[in-house]
Every structure is written in structure tokens, then in C-alpha cells.
Amino acid sequence: DRAYLAAKNCKGKFVQSIAYYDESMIEDMRQEQFVINAVNKAIEEEQFVVYLQPKINLITGKPYGAEALVRWMHPTRGMIAPAEFIPVYERNGIIGRLDQYMWRKVCALLRKWIDEGKEPDPISVNVSRVNIYNPHLVEILNKIIIEYRIPPQLLNLEITESAFMEDQSLVMRTVKRLHDLGFKIMMDDFGSGYSNIRAIGALEFDVVKMDKKFLDNGFPDNKKDYVLIKGLIDVFHDMGISVVCEGVEDERQKNALKELGADLIQGYFYSKPVSVNEFSEWIEAY
């Protein structure tokens, strides 16, 4: 068993043909088993909570909606970081259930704000690969927005670029049906893998979110990255696609992206992901 655990670490790695077992491997396996076994109770007890990271409109300089992110508040272990459970749920297909749980939570939040007389901006939610290939995805989303009486344009759907690589024709049909219902579709993490600009046009995304990796190599001082980002923003705008830049960490990056014509930005320069109450206070104080 221990040899098998060690071998998993070098499978598929052509430059590494030998792996050695150590105790951390069995601990990793135990942790993975824990997060799998605990998911049903965590969903039933609503241990997963919505955190929001604000987006800023660079034209107005004001907040414009947010991205919803999941946090696990375990009753005995406290806050469990997404990195400890999201990859496990993606590997095991459980992420589909967590997606749908989060969609309902966000719709309930939007409904609450509307009932309070507020006019909320759109909140974006993640749609995993498991759900984008779910034949009932459109019906599930439509049922949720009807149940909570939410205009579909308030629930933006983020699809990672890797999710549409396997069957673009299927994703294209799904995106069209979602568009017909009034949803806006966002391509998440553009630039983190095998991005294909032509595919983005064919799939009719409304928004592209440029991965923070574009800013991690010295932007805006790095001239090559500056020119690359400028070219991509221009191309997307010519295609009628809005651009959100993630990972903005200082004012120089913000000013450069505004100069280049980015539409929205998000990042630690403005706010890390925060609880719903903190988000509401942040919006009121902004």
C-alpha cells in the first residue's frame, strides 16, 4: 500500500521515475478521505458558506458585483481552506453538488437584498466541468432562478477554460441555451492553460476573466506582458467581449489596466474574499 502511494507521485512524470514513501503521503490520503466522508453532513448543516470578492468598474471607479467563493466552516476544525477540499471534490465528481449548493446560496442572498429594497449588481458563480457536461444543467439553473425569483442577469456563470476543451460543440449548445434564458457567461482563468481565442469567439462568451498570471511577472514594467495584455483586451473588445483582470495587487497595476481599457478588476488591492456581512459593510463604506 505504501509503495502504491509513493508510485502515484511519479506516474505521468517523465523526468521522475523513482519515488520514496514518507508519512505525509498517508496523512494526505487520510485528509482526502475525511473531506469526502464529511461532505454530506457539511451540506446538510450548511457548513459551506459564501464569501465574496468585490469587482471594481474601472470606468466609474465604483464596485460592480462580486465573485462568490466557497469557504468551509467546520464545527471542530474551523476554517478549512478551499485548496484542501476543492481539488478532492473535482477528482471525485462531488464538486457538482457543491456548485449547486453555492448557486442556491447566492440566489438566496440576492433575493434577500432585493427584498430589502436594494438593487444588487451581478454575482458570479463557478460552474465546474462536472456541471457543464451535466445534461440537466440548463433546467437546474432555470429552476433555481424561478424558485428564488432572481433575474438571470444577476447570476453570472463562470466556466474555466479547461471545462470546454473536451466537447466544444456540447458546450456551445449549452451556452446558447443559457443565453436564451438571459444568463451571462464568463470564461474564467483565461491564460492559465491552453487558451484558444477562436474558441472563445465561437462559444460566445460575454466576459473573459484574465488569469492573475498575466500580472505576476512584473506588470506593468514588463513590456512584453504589457503589450500582450493590451493586445488581448483590444481583441476581446473588438469581439464584443468584456474583460475582467484578476489578481490586481497595487495601484500601478490598476492604473495601467485602466489605461489599457480593462472593464473590471478584482484583487487584494481592493479586497480579499470576505464574508457576506463584511462585503455589505465594505460596499456601504466605499
How far apart, in whole angstroms, are the C-alpha atoms of residue 262 and residue 22?
A: 47
pLDDT at residue number 194? 61
3-state helix, strand, coil in the chain (%, to 5): 50, 20, 30
pLDDT at 128 over 80: yes
Helix spans in 152-264 (H): 168-181, 197-202, 223-238, 251-260
263 grid coordinates: 472593464
pLDDT at 250 over 70: yes
Inter-residue contact 95 to 133 (CB < 8 Å): no
Residues 231-259: what's their mean pLDDT? 96
How far apart, in whole angstroms, are the C-alpha atoms of residue 286 and residue 281?
A: 9
How far apart, in whole angstroms, are the C-alpha atoms of residue 102 and residue 105?
A: 5
Q: What is the mean pLDDT of the chain?
A: 93
pLDDT at residue number 195? 63
DSSP label at residue 69: E
How far apart, in whole angstroms, are the C-alpha atoms of residue 139 and residue 134?
A: 10
How far apart, in whole angstroms, are the C-alpha atoms of residue 243 and residue 245?
A: 7
pLDDT at 93 over 80: yes
Nearest CA to 161 out of 192, 125, 182, 132 is that of 192
pLDDT at residue number 161? 75
pLDDT at 162 over 80: no
Residues 33-56: what's their mean pLDDT? 97
pLDDT in tens, 167-214: 888 888 999 999 999 999 999 988 876 666 777 777 789 999 999 999
pLDDT in tens, 47-65: 999 999 999 999 999 999 9
pLDDT in tens, 262-284: 999 999 999 999 999 999 999 98
Map residue 100 onto helix, strand or coil.
Answer: helix
Percent of the chain whose predicted confidence (pLDDT) is above 90: 79
Looking at per-residue confidence, does 203 or 113 come out higher?
113
Cα distances (angstroms) measured from residue 209 to each of 12, 17, 177, 231? 30, 37, 21, 15
pLDDT at 134 over 70: yes
